[in-house]
Structure 1
Amino acid sequence: MTTAHELYAKGLRDHLAPALRALGLLGWRRTFSLPDGTHWALLGLVEQGGPAGRGGRRGDVVRSEPDGTATAGPVRYTFDLSLVRKADWALAAFPGPRPDPRAVYGIEIWRARIGEVLPVGEDVWWEVLPGPRWRVTLDDSVAAVRHYGLPELLRRVDRDRAGTGETYLGPDALEQVNAVLLAASVARIQRAELVDKELVLTGAWTRADAVARTVLRGVAHGFLSAGDERFGAVRCLDTLGRALWTVDPSTD
């Protein structure tokens, strides 16, 4: 009997990777990128399952067949999406010719699991199981990339290239602020822009991170104390553009 791992390996080689390249992605095996002169727009394949040592992990579920043989459980996979400016990548001097979309470097403009940009808005995994319809899973995941993953990556590239507002800090000044955040183990500010009389800070923060909230409120009050007439409040967004916290002296 052909195992799920064998079907997945065949599907990746003969169907999934060629289909992704047919969409305009460049790459091989498990990491792909859109051709662009200024940005790394990346797609990475994240996997679970399969026998340990062959794409799987120790602790994966193993089933016993009626004849007593052991077979690995299903192979599950999803995609990570990541956007990095090529200039930032070169300046950071991380090893490798390009970022790995499955890794977190702290210089990303944006990153997300593909489920976050699908209509369900939550983590989605595709599962390969032996059977006559095993390729349907691959086709469905390619459709998700085609209709949601790639359009979102392209939209993010265009938005970053055009800019949504006036840049507030230059690279050197922003790095000084980020050094303070790093010392407090808080993710860096990826963008600081002036939008509609507000200073908008974007970074890989979450609403549940109380330390980030406290430290960023302190940073916000520092910005506000400068008395810059171009803004009267500071707003913090996550990398998906969702509002996290606002510091507004007129309402605090």
Structure 2
Amino acid sequence: MGSGQIYRLPDERNWPLLGFQKSMFNTGERLSFTINLSVVSKELWEQRRSVRRLPLRPAPSTFYGPWMWHRRIGHLLPAGDDHWWEVGTAPDPAIVSEVVEAVRDLALPAMRRQIESC
């Protein structure tokens, strides 16, 4: 579920979020982006919100503390490093395919494992 840059897996007990982050150095001709993933218990989130000034819902691009799971998708890829995709003004089917595979084969399974362990 979701639209634009933030998506969430439906879950009654957790906030499993996937968010696309654009580089601040993008131009009209080039766009770089990465994907942030986070899972945090809704109960734990509400407890932390009552103590700290936190938003109503977590943002997938923000690491709030060691009490939540947060990863950039590059750390799930075989190289294990931060990874940014770069696209131009025309769609690149190879990049689209690579992003879809990374989300389907790496991000969603990792998020589901975190949900199960919460």
Secondary structure in structure 2 of the residue aligned to 1:157: helix
Identity of aligned residues (%): 34
- Partners in 1 of 2:113 and 2:48 — Cα distance? 24
Q: Give the conservation status (yes or no) of the 8 Å contact 1:83–1:108.
A: no
Q: CA deviation at 1:125?
A: 1.2
- Partners in 2 of 1:107 and 1:85 — Cα distance? 13
Q: CA deviation at 1:156?
A: 1.5
Unmatched runs of 5 consecutive residues or more in structure 1: 1-25, 49-56, 63-71, 161-252
TM-score w.r.t. length of structure 1: 0.42
2:51 pairs with 1:95: no
What residue number does 1:3 align with?
Answer: none
- Return the letter of the residue paired with 1:128: V
Secondary structure in structure 1 of the residue aligned to 2:79: coil
- Return the letter of the residue paired with 1:84: V
What residue number does 1:145 align with?
Answer: 103
Deviations 1:102-131 (A, max 9, x none): 112226421110011111211111111134
- Cα–Cα, structure 1 residues 109 and 144, in superposed 2: closer, same or farther, change >3 Å? same
- Partners in 2 of 1:95 and 1:130 — Cα distance? 34
Count of paired positions: 114
Secondary structure in structure 2 of the residue aligned to 1:101: coil
- Partners in 1 of 2:82 and 2:55 — Cα distance? 29
Deviations 1:142-173 (A, max 9, x none): 1100000000110111123xxxxxxxxxxxxx
TM-score w.r.t. length of structure 2: 0.84
Unmatched runs of 5 consecutive residues or more in structure 2: none
Secondary structure in structure 2 of the residue aligned to 1:89: helix
* Bigger relative contact order (CA 8 A; separation at least 6): 2
- CA RMSD, Structure 1 to Structure 2 (Å): 1.9
